[in-house]
Structure 1
Amino acid sequence: MELLTPLDTICRLILRARELEAQIPAQDPDEDPEDVDDLDDEGDQALSVLEDELNDGVEEEVQALLEDLADDQLTELLALAWVGRGTYDQTEWDDAFAEAGELDSEERIDELLDMPLLASHLDAALAAFDFSCDGVGQND
Protein backbone atom coordinates (compact mmCIF):
# COMPACT_ATOMS: atom_id res chain seq x y z
CA MET A 1 0.00 0.00 0.00
CA GLU A 2 1.20 3.48 -0.82
CA LEU A 3 0.04 6.30 1.45
CA LEU A 4 -1.82 9.25 -0.05
CA THR A 5 -1.05 11.35 3.04
CA PRO A 6 2.61 12.15 3.74
CA LEU A 7 3.90 9.99 6.59
CA ASP A 8 5.22 13.03 8.44
CA THR A 9 1.71 14.54 8.41
CA ILE A 10 0.21 11.36 9.87
CA CYS A 11 2.97 11.22 12.49
CA ARG A 12 2.38 14.88 13.43
CA LEU A 13 -1.32 14.10 13.81
CA ILE A 14 -0.49 11.09 16.02
CA LEU A 15 1.76 13.24 18.20
CA ARG A 16 -0.85 15.97 18.61
CA ALA A 17 -3.66 13.45 19.18
CA ARG A 18 -1.57 11.89 21.97
CA GLU A 19 -1.18 15.32 23.55
CA LEU A 20 -4.92 15.84 23.29
CA GLU A 21 -5.69 12.43 24.80
CA ALA A 22 -3.29 13.09 27.69
CA GLN A 23 -5.19 16.16 28.78
CA ILE A 24 -7.63 15.67 31.60
CA PRO A 25 -9.77 18.39 33.08
CA ALA A 26 -8.38 19.71 36.35
CA GLN A 27 -10.72 19.34 39.28
CA ASP A 28 -12.38 22.41 40.66
CA PRO A 29 -10.81 23.05 44.09
CA ASP A 30 -14.20 24.25 45.38
CA GLU A 31 -15.82 20.87 44.69
CA ASP A 32 -15.98 18.30 47.46
CA PRO A 33 -14.07 15.21 46.31
CA GLU A 34 -16.11 12.04 46.42
CA ASP A 35 -13.21 9.90 47.59
CA VAL A 36 -11.46 11.39 50.62
CA ASP A 37 -8.72 8.73 50.34
CA ASP A 38 -7.22 10.75 47.47
CA LEU A 39 -6.61 13.82 49.64
CA ASP A 40 -3.16 14.83 50.83
CA ASP A 41 -2.38 16.40 54.23
CA GLU A 42 -3.76 19.79 53.20
CA GLY A 43 -7.02 18.35 51.87
CA ASP A 44 -6.03 18.83 48.21
CA GLN A 45 -6.23 16.17 45.56
CA ALA A 46 -3.01 14.17 45.92
CA LEU A 47 -2.42 13.71 42.19
CA SER A 48 -3.41 17.19 41.03
CA VAL A 49 0.18 17.96 40.05
CA LEU A 50 -0.12 15.26 37.40
CA GLU A 51 -3.10 16.91 35.76
CA ASP A 52 -2.51 18.73 32.53
CA GLU A 53 -4.76 21.71 32.00
CA LEU A 54 -6.90 21.48 28.90
CA ASN A 55 -5.19 23.24 26.05
CA ASP A 56 -7.66 24.33 23.40
CA GLY A 57 -4.73 25.10 21.12
CA VAL A 58 -3.90 21.40 20.71
CA GLU A 59 -7.48 20.52 19.79
CA GLU A 60 -7.61 23.46 17.38
CA GLU A 61 -4.32 22.35 15.81
CA VAL A 62 -5.61 18.79 15.31
CA GLN A 63 -8.82 20.16 13.80
CA ALA A 64 -6.88 22.51 11.48
CA LEU A 65 -4.53 19.72 10.44
CA LEU A 66 -7.51 17.56 9.47
CA GLU A 67 -9.28 20.42 7.68
CA ASP A 68 -6.15 21.11 5.60
CA LEU A 69 -6.07 17.60 4.18
CA ALA A 70 -7.36 16.76 0.72
CA ASP A 71 -10.58 14.76 0.60
CA ASP A 72 -8.83 11.48 -0.32
CA GLN A 73 -6.27 11.98 2.47
CA LEU A 74 -9.02 12.51 5.04
CA THR A 75 -10.72 9.37 3.75
CA GLU A 76 -7.43 7.52 4.10
CA LEU A 77 -6.93 8.70 7.69
CA LEU A 78 -10.38 7.58 8.76
CA ALA A 79 -9.92 4.20 7.08
CA LEU A 80 -6.52 3.86 8.78
CA ALA A 81 -8.08 4.66 12.15
CA TRP A 82 -10.74 1.99 11.56
CA VAL A 83 -8.08 -0.58 10.65
CA GLY A 84 -6.05 0.35 13.73
CA ARG A 85 -9.16 0.10 15.92
CA GLY A 86 -9.95 -3.33 14.50
CA THR A 87 -13.18 -2.38 12.74
CA TYR A 88 -11.49 -3.59 9.55
CA ASP A 89 -8.51 -5.85 8.98
CA GLN A 90 -5.71 -4.57 6.75
CA THR A 91 -6.85 -7.12 4.14
CA GLU A 92 -10.17 -5.23 4.06
CA TRP A 93 -8.50 -1.92 3.23
CA ASP A 94 -10.59 -1.31 0.09
CA ASP A 95 -13.80 -1.77 2.08
CA ALA A 96 -12.63 0.57 4.86
CA PHE A 97 -11.57 3.21 2.33
CA ALA A 98 -14.87 2.89 0.43
CA GLU A 99 -16.96 3.25 3.61
CA ALA A 100 -14.93 6.25 4.76
CA GLY A 101 -15.42 7.77 1.32
CA GLU A 102 -19.19 7.62 1.74
CA LEU A 103 -19.01 10.26 4.49
CA ASP A 104 -18.57 13.93 3.78
CA SER A 105 -15.47 15.75 5.00
CA GLU A 106 -17.15 17.17 8.09
CA GLU A 107 -18.41 13.73 9.13
CA ARG A 108 -14.92 12.26 8.66
CA ILE A 109 -13.35 15.00 10.79
CA ASP A 110 -16.00 14.59 13.49
CA GLU A 111 -15.49 10.82 13.52
CA LEU A 112 -11.73 11.24 13.91
CA LEU A 113 -11.97 13.93 16.60
CA ASP A 114 -14.52 11.92 18.58
CA MET A 115 -12.52 8.69 18.39
CA PRO A 116 -11.01 7.68 21.72
CA LEU A 117 -7.39 6.58 21.37
CA LEU A 118 -7.09 8.04 17.86
CA ALA A 119 -3.29 8.21 18.14
CA SER A 120 -3.02 4.55 19.12
CA HIS A 121 -5.38 3.47 16.35
CA LEU A 122 -3.43 5.37 13.70
CA ASP A 123 -0.13 4.05 15.06
CA ALA A 124 -1.46 0.47 14.98
CA ALA A 125 -2.70 0.91 11.43
CA LEU A 126 0.66 2.23 10.26
CA ALA A 127 2.34 -0.79 11.83
CA ALA A 128 -0.16 -3.12 10.13
CA PHE A 129 0.95 -1.68 6.79
CA ASP A 130 4.67 -1.70 7.72
CA PHE A 131 4.97 2.03 8.28
CA SER A 132 6.38 3.68 11.37
CA CYS A 133 6.83 7.14 12.83
CA ASP A 134 10.21 6.19 14.28
CA GLY A 135 12.67 8.86 13.21
CA VAL A 136 10.10 10.83 11.19
CA GLY A 137 10.56 14.57 11.59
CA GLN A 138 13.92 14.27 13.32
CA ASN A 139 16.93 16.03 11.93
CA ASP A 140 20.02 13.85 11.64
Structure 2
Amino acid sequence: MKPSRLDVRHLRYAIAVADSGGFRRAAEILNVAQPAISKSVKDAETDLGFPIFERSGTGVTVTDAGRTFLEDARLAVASSNAPSGPRAATPKARAVTSLSGTRRLRPRRRSRKGLMRSMRRPRACRSKCMSCPPIQC
Protein backbone atom coordinates (compact mmCIF):
# COMPACT_ATOMS: atom_id res chain seq x y z
CA MET A 1 0.00 0.00 0.00
CA LYS A 2 1.35 3.41 -0.99
CA PRO A 3 1.50 6.18 1.61
CA SER A 4 -1.17 8.81 1.27
CA ARG A 5 -0.25 12.19 -0.17
CA LEU A 6 -3.27 13.92 1.34
CA ASP A 7 -2.69 17.06 3.33
CA VAL A 8 -4.85 19.91 4.62
CA ARG A 9 -4.64 21.69 1.27
CA HIS A 10 -6.36 18.77 -0.48
CA LEU A 11 -9.10 18.83 2.14
CA ARG A 12 -9.63 22.60 1.86
CA TYR A 13 -9.85 22.41 -1.92
CA ALA A 14 -12.39 19.56 -1.83
CA ILE A 15 -14.50 21.44 0.73
CA ALA A 16 -14.41 24.60 -1.39
CA VAL A 17 -15.51 22.69 -4.50
CA ALA A 18 -18.38 21.09 -2.60
CA ASP A 19 -19.50 24.41 -1.08
CA SER A 20 -19.29 26.36 -4.33
CA GLY A 21 -20.68 23.65 -6.61
CA GLY A 22 -17.86 23.75 -9.14
CA PHE A 23 -14.14 23.89 -9.71
CA ARG A 24 -14.10 27.31 -11.41
CA ARG A 25 -16.01 29.03 -8.62
CA ALA A 26 -13.87 27.32 -5.94
CA ALA A 27 -10.74 28.54 -7.72
CA GLU A 28 -12.08 32.10 -7.72
CA ILE A 29 -12.96 31.94 -4.03
CA LEU A 30 -9.59 30.47 -3.04
CA ASN A 31 -7.66 32.67 -5.47
CA VAL A 32 -5.95 29.59 -6.92
CA ALA A 33 -5.69 28.44 -10.53
CA GLN A 34 -8.54 26.13 -11.55
CA PRO A 35 -6.24 23.35 -12.86
CA ALA A 36 -4.52 23.23 -9.45
CA ILE A 37 -7.88 22.67 -7.75
CA SER A 38 -8.85 19.97 -10.26
CA LYS A 39 -5.52 18.15 -9.92
CA SER A 40 -5.58 18.33 -6.14
CA VAL A 41 -9.10 16.87 -5.95
CA LYS A 42 -8.24 14.20 -8.53
CA ASP A 43 -5.13 13.25 -6.51
CA ALA A 44 -7.27 13.01 -3.37
CA GLU A 45 -9.78 10.77 -5.16
CA THR A 46 -6.95 8.56 -6.43
CA ASP A 47 -5.43 8.25 -2.94
CA LEU A 48 -8.80 7.54 -1.34
CA GLY A 49 -9.86 5.04 -3.96
CA PHE A 50 -13.34 6.49 -4.56
CA PRO A 51 -14.77 9.54 -6.31
CA ILE A 52 -15.71 12.49 -4.12
CA PHE A 53 -17.64 14.25 -6.88
CA GLU A 54 -19.67 13.31 -9.92
CA ARG A 55 -18.64 15.70 -12.64
CA SER A 56 -21.09 16.99 -15.24
CA GLY A 57 -21.18 19.81 -17.77
CA THR A 58 -23.12 22.05 -15.39
CA GLY A 59 -21.07 21.50 -12.23
CA VAL A 60 -20.34 18.82 -9.67
CA THR A 61 -22.42 16.86 -7.21
CA VAL A 62 -21.10 15.15 -4.12
CA THR A 63 -21.27 11.34 -4.03
CA ASP A 64 -22.44 9.47 -0.91
CA ALA A 65 -18.87 8.42 -0.11
CA GLY A 66 -17.75 11.99 -0.82
CA ARG A 67 -20.33 13.36 1.62
CA THR A 68 -18.92 11.18 4.40
CA PHE A 69 -15.38 12.17 3.44
CA LEU A 70 -16.25 15.90 3.44
CA GLU A 71 -17.79 15.67 6.92
CA ASP A 72 -14.55 14.20 8.24
CA ALA A 73 -12.50 16.70 6.19
CA ARG A 74 -14.35 19.64 7.73
CA LEU A 75 -13.53 18.34 11.22
CA ALA A 76 -9.89 17.82 10.30
CA VAL A 77 -9.54 21.31 8.82
CA ALA A 78 -11.27 22.87 11.83
CA SER A 79 -8.93 21.07 14.22
CA SER A 80 -5.86 22.05 12.19
CA ASN A 81 -6.90 25.73 12.37
CA ALA A 82 -7.41 25.69 16.14
CA PRO A 83 -4.51 27.39 17.90
CA SER A 84 -2.62 25.21 20.33
CA GLY A 85 0.37 25.50 22.60
CA PRO A 86 1.48 28.12 25.13
CA ARG A 87 1.21 31.04 22.69
CA ALA A 88 -2.41 30.27 21.77
CA ALA A 89 -3.83 32.14 24.75
CA THR A 90 -2.15 35.45 24.02
CA PRO A 91 -4.16 37.83 21.85
CA LYS A 92 -1.18 38.76 19.67
CA ALA A 93 -0.65 35.13 18.70
CA ARG A 94 -4.16 34.44 17.43
CA ALA A 95 -3.92 32.74 14.08
CA VAL A 96 -5.55 34.48 11.17
CA THR A 97 -6.65 32.00 8.53
CA SER A 98 -7.82 33.14 5.14
CA LEU A 99 -10.15 31.14 2.91
CA SER A 100 -7.19 29.94 0.88
CA GLY A 101 -5.81 28.30 4.03
CA THR A 102 -2.79 30.44 4.68
CA ARG A 103 -2.07 31.08 8.35
CA ARG A 104 -0.19 33.90 9.95
CA LEU A 105 0.17 34.80 13.58
CA ARG A 106 0.36 38.57 13.39
CA PRO A 107 -0.46 41.28 10.92
CA ARG A 108 2.41 41.76 8.52
CA ARG A 109 4.67 44.68 9.17
CA ARG A 110 7.01 46.42 6.84
CA SER A 111 10.57 45.22 7.25
CA ARG A 112 13.16 47.59 8.68
CA LYS A 113 14.91 47.74 5.33
CA GLY A 114 11.67 48.69 3.55
CA LEU A 115 10.88 51.23 6.23
CA MET A 116 14.28 52.85 5.90
CA ARG A 117 13.92 52.91 2.11
CA SER A 118 10.68 54.87 2.42
CA MET A 119 12.30 57.37 4.81
CA ARG A 120 15.13 58.35 2.44
CA ARG A 121 15.65 61.93 1.48
CA PRO A 122 14.62 62.93 -2.03
CA ARG A 123 17.34 62.44 -4.63
CA ALA A 124 17.84 66.18 -5.08
CA CYS A 125 18.25 66.64 -1.34
CA ARG A 126 20.62 63.81 -0.39
CA SER A 127 23.17 66.24 0.98
CA LYS A 128 22.46 67.12 4.57
CA CYS A 129 20.57 70.33 4.09
CA MET A 130 18.66 72.07 6.83
CA SER A 131 15.25 71.97 5.13
CA CYS A 132 14.88 68.18 5.43
CA PRO A 133 14.19 66.53 8.78
CA PRO A 134 17.02 64.40 10.10
CA ILE A 135 16.73 60.64 9.54
CA GLN A 136 17.02 58.58 12.68
CA CYS A 137 18.05 54.95 12.58
**TM-score over 0.5 (shorter chain):** no
Q: Name which structure has the greater RCO, CA cutoff 8 Å, separation 6+.
A: 1
Higher helix share: 1
TM norm structure 2? 0.33
Question: Larger radius of gyration, structure 1 or 2?
Answer: 2
TM norm structure 1? 0.32
Higher strand share: 2
